[in-house]
Structure 1
Amino acid sequence: MSRTSTRRLFAAALLVASVLAPMAVAPAPAVHAAGVDRHGQEDCPPGGLGHEVNARLDKAIADVREEAGIPGVVVGLWMPGKGSYVRATGVADTTTGEPMAADSFVRIGSETKTFTVTALLELVDDGLVELDDPISAYVPGVRNGDRITLRHLAEMRSGLFPYTSDPDFDHDLLSDPHRSFTPQELLAYGMKHKNTFKPGATFEYSNTNLILLGLVVEKVSGRKLERFIERRVLRPSHLRNTLFPTGSEFPEPHPRGYTDQTLSGETEDATDWNPSWAWAAGGMISDLHDLRRWARIVATGELLSPETQAQRLKTLPTGFPGTTYGLGILETNGWIGHNGSLPGYETVTVYLPSKKATLVVMINTDSLSGGQEPSTLLARAITEVVTPKNVYAGAVVPR
């Protein structure tokens, strides 16, 4: 597999250079659920967003699903004072035709970064670390580690080579996608390569950064990353259906996940691939309503001090129009949050402060359409209907 396709496989991003043949999409009836607030969030009147808007959203989602060959889609949109829109369309299993369900669990890929960086920022608020500490103070052996800070890592401006772009990593994972990787094994793939630029010079999306931050959280807290996130992030946020698996475990119900990121290039079922290769950068699982709550928590800084949240939201250019990046968070034409992509699944979870609106998209494929992430195509089409002055551009990442 080429370096370009390797990078496309593992980063949560938008623009790459492959055009894929769409998978057959079996029709399924839409499922509509009212915006029930089971987590004490802003009230969204039930009954959708009005017949005309609902119809436009239905068509926009159906058009993208057909064009991009997406088997199944779950969309949740909550707009306080206006209403809510929840739809599950398509199939969770292309073999059985089982319909997609709105209460499904999915692998959230790089949305995990928002949890890992939140954990780090809580340690900042605890006075145990500083964002401008060098990574060498916590993890030895990092090239230029005395000049690369924790801030550089969280901002994707470290210059460290992305381990997921290493051909040996690509081959090792795809040869045995059920194997387990340790953080040290992952870092070794990236550390074989020279740094790509001086710290802070520019933006480059690199999962290497997040593996290092995960190790920092573990060293400073004295806990496994998974346990620290559960105790300090998930519990206070009341995210009861969000978890950090240690292997390929996957709660029911969940859709099958389909990917063409394989050694053969053929589409395969990646549902039970072991996500340990993504760990602090992309290994977590969640559901629609937990992601709804998390979107607001991340964007408003509910778990952090105002000073730390202000630093988190100081986003910098990525080199792609409409999208900037902060501390493990993106801002795209007003929407704040992150997207996620790993073999078989993609998600988008974003919050629009100006309207207190939340958008969550979950799909069961990561196969590109016209060189773009299908979840991005969906989020863009949805926001063109409901927030035309704030159209989702997406997390654009150089590959």
Structure 2
Amino acid sequence: MRITSRWRRAVAALAGAAAIAVAISGCTGGDPRDATTPDLVSGELPGDTVEQLQGAVEHAMAATGSSGAIVGVWVPWAGAWVTGLGSTAHEGGSEVSTDMAFRIASMTRPMTCDVLYGMVEDGIVELDDPVSKYVPSTPDLTDVTLKQLCDNTSGLARSHDTLLDNYLRTPEREWNAREVAAAGLGKDRTEAGVAFTDSDTGYLLLGVALQNAASETPAALMRRYVTGPLGLDQTRLPGARAEAPGEPALPGYYSDQEDRDAGCVAPREYTEMSASFGYTDSGAVSTIDDLGAYTASLAARAKDGDALAPRWADAKPISTKSDSWYQYAGGTFIAGSMVGQQGTVPGYMTSAYADMDNGLTVAVVLNNSAAPESLVGYLAKELAAIVSKVPAREGETAPEFGLPWTAEDYHQRIADRAVCPIE
């Protein structure tokens, strides 16, 4: 049963959709089909809300030097706003449309965890299996489990930071996941299972381990456990060959320091490149409707009654200095009552979050990856704060809830981390 195919069609057409009644009581949060997504009422959001949303996205576009953006906001009790903003190029481009594909960066991570939990339910692997059982080249990782890779508590260092300059120079290069992961494995690591450490190395190794355990490619596993069951026809993990994220594609750009100093006027294009560098950490591609549907599915699975589902139950704080409501588990950030991800790959900054209690969902992509990856997460949270106050349509009831942040707070954080001029 494809639980979000009807939801996805509904948000695309701004029409109502019936919820699919699949019980989630007692579920682990592993099977994407084990979720109940809410009804989405027909119609657009109020004009003043749309004006605020558009202003927030355009502010972030300026801060990042992005010529274009695609954004989706779905409020079950009030309607939706799904649109493309800006142009496909700084000069001479065409209008951005909502059917354009893009790279979803770290939103790949929860999909990789979906595969892990699906394989556990099928008896192929166990959550507590050591990495070394499936990746023989890592005999020293007997103390790191597959679950810890998913939860980002492996203690492993990051890989991409070391190799990014090489990737930017040769975006068409085909990488071996073990080669990329080796850059992180060569660094000092902390004790596994103790604290959150943002490690792309862990998700790369998780992909390798699952491939070896199942004797199937990660792309095939993702189709079996994620995109197939959910009917996400525009979402996939590409092969190693350099290509655009889809057809049509939102072009992606990167402003190096020289371009930033010049005002972000001539960024380099990174639309066609190999997804092998990101692999099961950040290699997947999608469209805004698919991404919104997937994120809503995540949120519906993340709760088991009033508590977090087992996959998310062992959440760890992001840091000792972060807000107590900001944690991580199961391949996602947990921000108050919302779950989601944020991240960058050359050319794209992508973030999506959905509320576990009421289904409010936001997803956004910006097409310049020069800024810190936290910025696009700030934008998603700003959008969520704006629409959290939208009144219900006639005959509907708005839920009583509040987010532990304000739109103004994250608007300012975006300005503080801007890498390009904000006019």
Short-chain TM bin: 0.7 to 0.9
Q: Deviations over 1:71-107 (max 9, x none)?
A: 1121111111211112221112223221111111111
Kept in 2, the 8 Å contact 1:367–1:373? The answer is: no
Tell me which of 152, 175, 178 is aligned to 1:184: 178
Gaps of 5+ in 2: 1-10, 20-36, 261-265, 390-401, 411-423
SS in 2 for 1:77: strand
Instruction: Name the structure 2 match of 1:238.
Output: 231
From the superposition, tell whether residues 53 and 187 of structure 1 become closer, same or farther in structure 2 (CA, over 3 Å).
Answer: closer
Tell me which of 135, 141, 158 is aligned to 2:137: 141
* C-alpha separation in 1, matches of 2:336 and 2:16: 26
**How large is the Cα RMSD of the aligned pairs?**
2.9
**What is the letter of the counterpart of residue 280 of structure 1?**
T
From the superposition, tell whether residues 184 and 49 of structure 1 become closer, same or farther in structure 2 (CA, over 3 Å).
Answer: same
From the superposition, tell whether residues 261 and 190 of structure 1 become closer, same or farther in structure 2 (CA, over 3 Å).
Answer: farther
From the superposition, tell whether residues 221 and 260 of structure 1 become closer, same or farther in structure 2 (CA, over 3 Å).
Answer: same
Deviates more, 1:217-226 or 1:171-180: 171-180
Tell me which of 101, 113, 136 is aligned to 1:117: 113
Q: Deviations over 1:260-317 (max 9, x none)?
A: 3589988311111222111010111100111121112222239x9xx99422353211
* C-alpha separation in 2, matches of 1:314 and 1:373: 23
From the superposition, tell whether residues 346 and 64 of structure 1 become closer, same or farther in structure 2 (CA, over 3 Å).
Answer: closer
* C-alpha separation in 2, matches of 1:113 and 1:204: 14
Identity between Structure 1 and Structure 2 (%): 25
Kept in 1, the 8 Å contact 2:114–2:225? The answer is: no
Deviates more, 1:293-302 or 1:277-286: 293-302
Shift of 1:61: 2.7
Tell me which of 74, 80, 87 is aligned to 2:70: 74
Tell me which of 355, 360, 380 is aligned to 1:352: 355
Q: Deviations over 1:101-125 (max 9, x none)?
A: 1111111111111111100111111
From the superposition, tell whether residues 377 and 187 of structure 1 become closer, same or farther in structure 2 (CA, over 3 Å).
Answer: closer
* C-alpha separation in 1, matches of 2:110 and 2:373: 22
Shift of 1:385: 1.4
* C-alpha separation in 1, matches of 2:364 and 2:176: 30
* C-alpha separation in 2, matches of 1:263 and 1:243: 34
SS in 1 for 2:276: helix
Kept in 2, the 8 Å contact 1:33–1:85? The answer is: no
Instruction: Name the structure 1 match of 2:418.
Output: none
Shift of 1:232: 2.4
Instruction: Name the structure 1 match of 2:296.
Output: 296
* C-alpha separation in 1, matches of 2:351 and 2:209: 26
* C-alpha separation in 1, matches of 2:89 and 2:48: 31
* C-alpha separation in 1, matches of 2:313 and 2:234: 26
Query: TM-score scaled by structure 2?
Result: 0.77
Kept in 2, the 8 Å contact 1:88–1:101? The answer is: yes
Aligned pairs for 1:336-351 within 5 A? 336-351=339-354
Tell me which of 201, 210, 221 is aligned to 2:203: 210
* C-alpha separation in 1, matches of 2:298 and 2:186: 34
Instruction: Name the structure 1 match of 2:85.
Output: 89
SS in 2 for 1:277: coil
* C-alpha separation in 1, matches of 2:356 and 2:66: 29
From the superposition, tell whether residues 221 and 88 of structure 1 become closer, same or farther in structure 2 (CA, over 3 Å).
Answer: same
Matched, 1:258 2:253: yes
From the superposition, tell whether residues 96 and 37 of structure 1 become closer, same or farther in structure 2 (CA, over 3 Å).
Answer: farther
Query: TM-score scaled by structure 1?
Result: 0.81
Instruction: Name the structure 2 match of 1:329.
Output: 332
Shift of 1:171: 4.2
Aligned residues: 356
Tell me which of 83, 101, 107 is aligned to 1:105: 101
* C-alpha separation in 1, matches of 2:161 and 2:53: 37
Tell me which of 153, 160, 169 is aligned to 1:175: 169
Matched, 1:375 2:362: no
Tell me which of 123, 126, 138 is aligned to 2:122: 126
Deviates more, 1:40-49 or 1:246-255: 40-49
Kept in 2, the 8 Å contact 1:155–1:326? The answer is: yes
From the superposition, tell whether residues 129 and 263 of structure 1 become closer, same or farther in structure 2 (CA, over 3 Å).
Answer: farther
